Amino acid sequence: MNIRYKLIEQERFQDAPFTGALVCAVGCDLNCPGCFNESVKQMPTSIQSAEGIVKSISDNPFNEGIILGGLEWSLQPDELLELVKTALEQDLKVMIYTGLPLEQFLDRVPRLVTVEGEIYIKHGAYDSSLSHVQPVMYGVKLASENQRIDKLKTVQTQFFSQI
């Protein structure tokens, strides 16, 4: 499957509990005031296979995983799932950023809870009024105190216990 993205930045160490490559989605509909990624929206869109993207990440010996962020990947749910599955097949860790509350994100990408592997989800919209305290979770400094990081395994346990 071909994946649309804005940019890939190798060897990011501050965005996840591992060193990884940041892959930015192509759009965002959240309009967060003070968005860190406004300039990314103006970049040209690139297209590459999931395998090609993951290979470029795994070929870098410093990368332990893939960080899907920059803009809102839930607007590309099929591409997100393909990247996550392909990365996990190559034994890469996965971190997904979303500005949405976790439940709303999973409503947009419901099949993600069926994927097995090490997946972290950073969720919650950036709120500059809540940025004076920057909590740390899993070694990652959050941009505002309403955000948090959950491991998908924990979310899966909660999700399936409600069924």
* Predicted confidence (pLDDT) per residue in 32-87, tens digit: 777 778 888 889 999 999 999 999 999 999 999 999 998 999 999 999 999 999 99
> pLDDT tens digits, residue range 114-140?
998 989 999 998 887 887 778 899 999
Residue 79's φ and ψ, nearest 5 degrees, are -65, -40
**Helices (H), ranges, 7-49:** 38-41
- Integer Cα distance of 129 and 139 in angstroms: 22
Show Cβ contacts of residue 49 under 8 Å, excluding neighbours closer than 6 positions: 1, 2, 3
Distant-in-sequence, close-in-space partners of 29: CB < 8 Å, separation ≥ 6: 72, 75
Can you tell me the mean pLDDT for 154-159?
50
Q: Report the C-alpha gap between 154 and 41 in whole angstroms.
A: 32
Reading the block at residue 163, the tokens are 């069924």
Residue pLDDT, tens place only, 4-43: 999 999 999 999 999 999 999 999 988 877 777 888 888 9
